[in-house]
Amino acid sequence: MAAVSRAFSPGAPIEAEKKKRILAAAEEIGYISPARRTANAIAAGTITLVSGDLLNPFYPSVVDALARRLQDSGRQLIVYALPAHADVDLATEQILSSRPSAIIVTSAQLTSRMARACRQHHIKVVLLNRVQRDIRINAVACDNYQGGRDAGRVLLERGHRGIGLIGGVANTSTHVERVRGFRDVLAEAGTSIQAQASGDFDYQRGYQAAESLISTANRPEAIFCCNDIMALALMDAARKRGIRVPDDLAVVGFDDISMASWDAYRLTTIRQPVERMVQEALTLIDDPAIKPGDDGITRMLAGTLVRRDSA
């Protein structure tokens, strides 16, 4: 049928109504036009990474690890950079238009609309370094709760009282879980968070949050920062005021970005196993037993406490 061919050729002259009916019928019987077939074949070797925050050094390390692994298996990595704090909806159309075999979302909020669209198109989705309870979706993350506990334990061990917290973006699992673990371990020791500020997971805001915490009369003796960038900002803010780390102020971060090991900081932090997280994400994607429509599987990997000099 000529009309069918026309329905599948973008720009061909065909009545919108008829085209819609043809497309619907095609969907029904599972017909795929040859053009789409080749497009699918190409896209099969392609994985899209959607990242919201490439300027935080943690995420480039993810991009790097992912790109290398995909290259090893002859596949390609498409990178989408979202504006900070944006959810994925904005780019849904564009991301789906390339019909990748899978999408990895990191540092960004997935929406149920997008999740539905991906299921419909049989595209696997894996959240990396995020877990979302509102949507049933595959996810790989570091055990943020345990990491938060470890951070708390380090600070308690050293006998600190007056413990503060610099949080990240409130509605992210990375923030929520880390804080929950931290708070729980303090509670078990009969204490609690004395002062708290939000640093939005970035340096500038982290710096502001740090200042607000350490400029008060009874400033905390120890502060847990929900990621390393904010911890480094805190250390910078402390240095500026002549507050010595760790003597006057103990600092623990989370991620173990490369700067954390630099001499200027020597930050004690929880290392996320980036390589293994990427590997797990690809395992979820490559496992044929896991279907795009399946319920969410969450793979939790343990972080490692890295003791340096800041706590």
Q: Closest approach of Cβ 18 to DNA, in Å?
A: 4
Question: What is the pattern of x (binds DNA, CB under 7 A) and - over residues 34-63?
Answer: xx-x--------------------------
Q: Which is nearer to a copy of itself, 39 or 297 (CB)?
A: 39
Q: Which is nearest to 166 in space by CA: 143, 136, 193, 134? A: 193
Query: CA end-to-end span of the chain, whole Å?
Result: 73
Q: Is 18 in the site for DNA (CB under 7 A)?
A: yes
Q: Kindly indicate which of the ranges 30-38, 88-96, 172-180, 277-285 contains the residues binding DNA, using the contact rule CB under 7 A.
A: 30-38
Take residue 203 and report the two structure tokens written for it. Answer: 């340096």
Question: d(Cα 236, Cα 116) in Å, to the nearest integer?
Answer: 44
Task: Specify the residue for token string 């020597």.
Answer: 266
Of 63 and 305, CB closest to a copy of itself: 63
Q: Are 48 and 95 in contact (CB under 8 A)?
A: yes
Contact status: 30 vs DNA (CB under 7 A):
no
Please count the residues of this chain forming the interface with DNA, following the rule CB under 7 A.
Answer: 19
Q: Is the dihedral of CA 176, 225, 146, 183 positive or negative?
A: negative
Angle between helix 144-157 and 173-188 (nearest 10): 40
Judged by CB under 8 A, the residue of 91, 125, 154, 155 near a copy of itself is: 91
Query: In the stretch 199-238, what mask flags binding to a copy of itself with x, by CB under 8 A?
Result: ----x---x------------------------xx-xxx-
- What distance in Å separates the CA atoms of residue 8 and residue 34, rounded to the nearest whole number? 9
64, interface contact from DNA, a copy of itself, none, CB < 5-8 Å by kind = a copy of itself
Q: Between 66 and 154, whose beta carbon lies closer to a copy of itself?
A: 66
298 lines the binding site for a copy of itself (CB under 8 A): no
Alpha helices for 125-172 (secondary structure H)? 144-157
Residue type at 107 in one-letter notation: S
Residue 54: which of a copy of itself, DNA, none does it interact with, CB under 5 to 8 A by kind?
A: a copy of itself
Nearer Cβ to DNA (15/309)? 15
CB of 294 to a copy of itself, least distance (A): 27
Looking at the Cβ atoms of 16 and 217, the one nearer to DNA is 16
Q: Tell the residue number behind the tokens 């570091």, with chain if given.
A: 142
How far is 95 from 290, CA to CA, in rounded Å? 22
Q: From the list 5, 92, 98, 212, which residue makes contact with a copy of itself (rule: CB under 8 A)?
A: 98
| Torsion, CA 13, CA 18, CA 24, CA 28, rounded to 10 | -100
Give the count of residues interacting with a copy of itself (CB under 8 A): 41
Contact between 14 and DNA by CB under 7 A: the answer reads yes
Q: Hey, what amino acid is at 186?
A: L
Q: Distance of CA 124 to CAs 76, 188, 203, 208, 234, Å? A: 16, 40, 33, 39, 39
Work out whether 247 is an interface residue with a copy of itself (CB under 8 A): no
Q: If you ran DSSP here, which 8-state letter would residue 133 be given?
A: S
Residues near DNA (CB under 7 A):
1-6, 8-9, 12-16, 18, 31, 33-35, 37
